[in-house]
Copies of this chain bind each other. A is one copy, B any other.
Amino acid sequence: MPTKKELLNRPIQHLDIKQHNVVSLVDAMRTMAYSSRDAARAADIYEMMLHDTDCGVILCLAGSLISAGLQQLFIDLVRNNMVDAIVSTGANIVDQDFFEALGFNHYMADDEYKYGAHDAMLRELAIDRIYDTFIDEDELRICDETTHQIANSLDPRPYSSREFIREMGAYLVRNGRTPQAGARDSIVLAAYEKNVPIFCPAFSDCSAGFGLVAHQHARQGKPMLSIDSAKDFYEITQLKIANPTTGVLMMGGGVPKNFAQDIIVAADILGVDASMHKYAIQVTVADVRDGALSGSTLKEASSWGKVDLTYEQMVYSEATLALPLIAGYAFHKNAHAARKGKKFATILDQVPVTA
- A20 to chain B: closest residue by CB: B25
- A233 within 8 Å of B by Cβ? yes
A10-B31 in contact (CB<8A): yes
Interface range on chain A: under 10, 10 to 19, 20 to 34, or 35 or more? 35 or more
With A67-B33, A229-B203, A296-B130 already in contact, the answer to whether A318 and B320 are too (CB < 8 A) is no
Identify A210's interface contact among B201, B265, B319, CB under 8 A.
B265
Within the complex, what minimum Cβ distance (angstroms) separates A23 from chain B?
Answer: 10
Most buried by B among A132, A227, A290: A290
Within the complex, what minimum Cβ distance (angstroms) separates A321 from chain B?
Answer: 5
**Total identical chains:** 4
- A119 within 8 Å of B by Cβ? yes
- A104 within 8 Å of B by Cβ? no
B32-A131 in contact (CB<8A): no
- Residues of A participating in the B interface, judged by any CB pair closer than 8 Å: 10-16, 19-20, 22, 24-25, 28-29, 31-37, 39, 62-64, 67-70, 89, 91, 106, 108, 112, 114-117, 119-120, 122-123, 127-133, 137, 141, 144, 158, 201-206, 209-210, 212-217, 219-221, 224-234, 237, 252, 254-255, 258-259, 262, 265-266, 269-270, 285-294, 296-297, 299-300, 302-305, 309, 316-322, 324-325, 352, 354-355
